[in-house]
């Protein structure tokens, strides 16, 4: 019997056929690829979250029981006895954080006594970096019924750019949620009760219009809000109407 030469045969897998893995074993290359993919997805998710968070306005009034020092940015004259005070929020990306229907309290030590007064800003949380107050200044010796004038308004009028004022809020028993939906507390200790109104009648005089203005602005800014507003407004100077921006909101609305 003759000798036969046995040649080893090499079986080449068909192109595109994945290699077989022995159960219980995994390819280091495959694990590395999966790890890189997971890290990429986590990085993208974290980046997206941080971008959304950075774009979200920051709230100034986080605690209604705390006082927040805000710096006076500017003081402009509206008319002979009314001024607009602009205060800076902590950063250019901050909003005040005041729900519609709520107000703030300003406090100061004046002649040794603590004076606290409520005010409603004419700006909203669409305005970032600042808050505006329009205040009538009651000067001493002008009105016989108020010989000493207004303590807080005169104090604010005496401030210089850069001076600090204490703000506290939000405060109030009424909150407007939009589309005629209100949340009203009968008193401070009572839980809020829902109320619905389709027509609102309001009466205001002078700078006392600011609480009504806050509500009117919120309603007119929402084209889907069907609430109707009826305002009876009286003031000695017609200029205040345009300064508060009422004319621009009334255009195009019935």
Q: Say if residues 70 and 164 touch (Cβ distance below 8 Å).
A: yes
Edge-to-edge strands, sheet with 113-119: 113-119, 103-110, 164-171, 68-79, 82-88, 130-136
164 is in an annotated binding site: no
Sign of CA dihedral 216, 218, 221, 222: negative
DSSP 162: T
Neighbours of 85 (CB within 10 A): 22
Distance from C-alpha of 133 to C-alpha of 105, rounded to nearest angstrom: 12
Neighbours of 181 (CB within 10 A): 14
Tokens standing for residue 90: 């902590």
Judged on CB neighbours under 10 Å (0-12, 13-18, 19+), 29 is exposed
Tokens standing for residue 39: 């890290």
Q: How many residues are listed for the chain in this entry? A: 254
67 is in an annotated binding site: no
DSSP 32: H
152 is in an annotated binding site: yes
User: Is 149 strand, coil or helix?
Assistant: coil
Nearest CA to 73 out of 86, 92, 90 is that of 86
13 is in an annotated binding site: no
Distance from C-alpha of 122 to C-alpha of 240, rounded to nearest angstrom: 12
119 is in an annotated binding site: yes
19 is in an annotated binding site: no
142 is in an annotated binding site: no
Residues contributing to the annotated binding site for FAD: 117-119, 134, 136, 151-153, 210
Residue positions forming the annotated binding site:
117-119, 134, 136, 151-153, 210
């Amino acid at each position: 019997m003759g000798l036969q030469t046995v040649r080893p045969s090499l079986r080449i897998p068909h192109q595109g056929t994945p290699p077989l893995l022995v159960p219980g074993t995994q390819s280091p290359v495959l694990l590395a690829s999966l790890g890189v993919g997971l890290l990429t997805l986590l990085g993208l998710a974290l980046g997206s979250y941080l971008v959304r968070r950075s774009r979200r306005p920051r709230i100034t009034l986080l605690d209604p029981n705390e006082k927040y020092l805000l710096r006076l940015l500017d003081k402009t004259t509206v008319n002979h006895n009314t001024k607009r005070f602009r205060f800076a929020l902590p950063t250019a990306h901050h909003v005040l954080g005041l729900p519609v229907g709520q107000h703030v309290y300003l406090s100061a030590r004046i002649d040794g006594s603590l004076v606290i007064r409520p005010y409603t800003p004419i700006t909203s949380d669409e305005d970032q970096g600042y808050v505006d107050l329009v205040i009538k200044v009651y000067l001493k010796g002008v009105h016989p019924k108020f010989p000493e004038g207004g303590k807080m308004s005169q104090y604010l009028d005496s401030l210089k750019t850069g001076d600090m004022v204490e703000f506290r809020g939000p405060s109030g028993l009424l909150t407007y949620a939009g589309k005629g939906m209100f949340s009203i507390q009968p008193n401070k200790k009572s839980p809020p009760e829902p109320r619905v109104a389709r027509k609102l009648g309001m009466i205001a005089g002078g700078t006392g219009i600011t609480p009504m203005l806050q509500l009117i602005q919120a309603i007119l800014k929402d084209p889907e809000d069907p609430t109707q507003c009826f305002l009876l407004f009286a003031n000695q100077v017609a200029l205040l109407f345009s300064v508060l921006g009422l004319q621009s909101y009334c255009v195009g609305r019935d």
